[in-house]
Structure 1
Amino acid sequence: MNTNMNLNDISARPRPDELVPSRYALKIGKIDVLVVSDGILPIPAPTIAYNIDPAVRTAWLEDEFLSPETLEWPLNVAVVRSGEQTILVDAGLGADPALHLPRAGQLIHRLEAAGIDLASVTDVVLTHMHMDHIGGLLIDGVKDRLNPDLRIHVAAAEIKFWESPDFSRVSMPQGFPDALRRAAKRFVNEYRSQLRPFEDEHEVAPGVVVRRTGGHTPGHSVVRLASGGDRLTFAGDLVFQVGFDHPDWHNGFEHDPEEAARVRVRLMRELAANREPLVATHLPFPSVCHVAVDGDAFRCVPAVWDY
């Protein structure tokens, strides 16, 4: 993977008021990729695995130097430039005042700090329509700044699901189901004319393909990048930090947890076999890593940062 990049296109300098980097640039062949942090989403730690003994979950969290009470969930978004197209992969959390999440929803000002004009975005790809993937486009004033010809690519099954969403098998923190329903309904109402549904697979731009996987939600999708022999997968919510050690643990936000586990294992085995790098929404920023098989589970092998 070639991580050199023309920084005249996308600046790597952090905002003056930020002490740590919030974006990371890399190149996949001729495709430019910028991983952008949307901030941190604190959730109750039990949400990461509700189908196991709480003592086992607590032991894993402590082994990882994580709090057994509250997990600080990273939120990662990607900006992809291929040919003449600038593609936003997911849109971050935005701001739902009912949930009081001030450390999240940072995407818009971080895009601005990176020199990315919202009007230059030609396409948006949604891995799914949970609030933390669409909310950035629901912030007041954002729609007016977007290209009026913007295309929003999302699986048809995802749009159908949110017409009457089933929350019977999730284990989300209080308030989240209602917030997710509100966000999805508002998103479809506001952006209906710009939605470009696909069935199973769609090429968004040269070397940029979105593929429906299902599992996490019925229309959950991943984005596969390929150019000049390089590869990268943006896995959305198929892979969580705990999913390497325990891919069969059920995350509370999964609408079909058994299918999500099957899809997770299948994808990670593929990435381990072809040595393809991975980026995922809730892995520690910038989340660029490789997957290694470790018996019946996996290991996360972080990529070396290119300064």
Structure 2
Amino acid sequence: MSLDGISRLGGQSTDELVPSRYVQQVGEIEVTVICDGVLPITASTLATNADPAELAGWLDDMFLPPDVLDWPLNVVVVRTGGQTILVDAGLGVEFPDFPRAGQTVRRLEAAGIDPASVTDVVLTHLHMDHVGGLLTDGLKARLRPDLRIHLAAAEAEFWAAPDFSQTAMPQPVPDVLRSVATRFLDEYHGRLRPFETEYEVAPGVLISRTGGHTPGHSIVRVASGGEALTFAGDAVFAPGFDNPEWHNGFEHDPEEAARVRVRLLRELAATGEALVATHLPFPSVCRVATAGDVFRCVPSVWDY
């Protein structure tokens, strides 16, 4: 590279140097994965029922630190026909303890997606790293007045009186989760379009309630032209491939969450469809392979 080229690179923004968005075509439907950033998480939260030595071994095998690690945070934009569908909204910018997350709005704009063009929002659940972006000043005023927000009715009902008895989250996270979910429901109640079990947001875009992680946790399936992709939200975490029975501290029903995870991974391994999840390393597009009684995440080759 010439010195002139290096000089030009040095003048570009960080967002141009570091990949933050990735487009995956699914038949006639365009799926864009947006990196909202990373969150620090206590490593023990990844496997609250695991033997500490086994978790330490897994972290070491994955070249991850033993105490606190970066947790990726992804959202998805689905464009089909005349609809632009935002699936989850990231953390937002109101949490100074998490300065490396909350990038969704800026990176939507960098991807050429005007927030005013979003016709629908699908929420996998109401944890703050999935809805906080909708509460960010500078975004709310830009959203369409006829915006439709889809979530499971069971999710909205749960947060009216949430039960954290089976979770293992560090303080003060439970109170913050409750506060953010309450604020979201208060501010957006008039735009909510709750569903019971599943709902077709657009032709080939289906949201389905799984439960487990939260009572109304949902996944989004995109299918077109014989191709398919599933956005799994928080049904699958990185340890969940080779240790699907490990419980995540944020799971409100960890036993059911493990059953949901195994069932989903088995299905994806059988169909061969693509998987994207909130907390897998960006862009997280992969296929699922079976390895005995556990699974493997096989990253897709980037198409650029």
Residue 35 of structure 1: aligned partner: 33
1:176 aligns with 2:168: no
Q: How does 1:141-290 map to 2 (within 5 A)?
A: 141-290=138-287
Cα-Cα RMSD:
0.9
Shift of 1:113: 1.1
Residue 71 of structure 1: aligned partner: 69
Letter in 2 for 1:37: C
Moved over 4 A (4+): none
Equivalenced residue count is 292
Residue 20 of structure 1: aligned partner: 18
Shift of 1:174: 1.8
Shift of 1:26: 1.4
Contact residue 207 and residue 226 of structure 1 kept, 8 A: yes
5+ residue gaps, structure 2: 1-11
- 2: CA distance between counterparts of 1:28 and 1:251? 30
Shift of 1:111: 0.6
Contact residue 94 and residue 136 of structure 2 kept, 8 A: no
Letter in 1 for 2:174: P
Shift of 1:286: 0.1
- 2: CA distance between counterparts of 1:30 and 1:277? 15
Letter in 1 for 2:51: D
Contact residue 272 and residue 290 of structure 1 kept, 8 A: yes
1:101 aligns with 2:98: yes
5+ residue gaps, structure 1: 1-14
State TM-score, norm by structure 2.
0.95
Residue 4 of structure 1: aligned partner: none
Deviation by residue 1:50-98 (Cα, 9 ceiling, x = unmatched): 111111111110011001111210000000001110000000011343x
Residue 112 of structure 1: aligned partner: 109
Which of the two has higher C-alpha Rg?
A: 2
Contact residue 96 and residue 179 of structure 1 kept, 8 A: no
- 2: CA distance between counterparts of 1:296 and 1:95? 41
- 1: CA distance between counterparts of 2:80 and 2:219? 17
Residue 81 of structure 1: aligned partner: 79
Where 1:266 maps in the other structure, the secondary structure is helix
Contact residue 167 and residue 249 of structure 2 kept, 8 A: yes
- 1: CA distance between counterparts of 2:129 and 2:256? 21
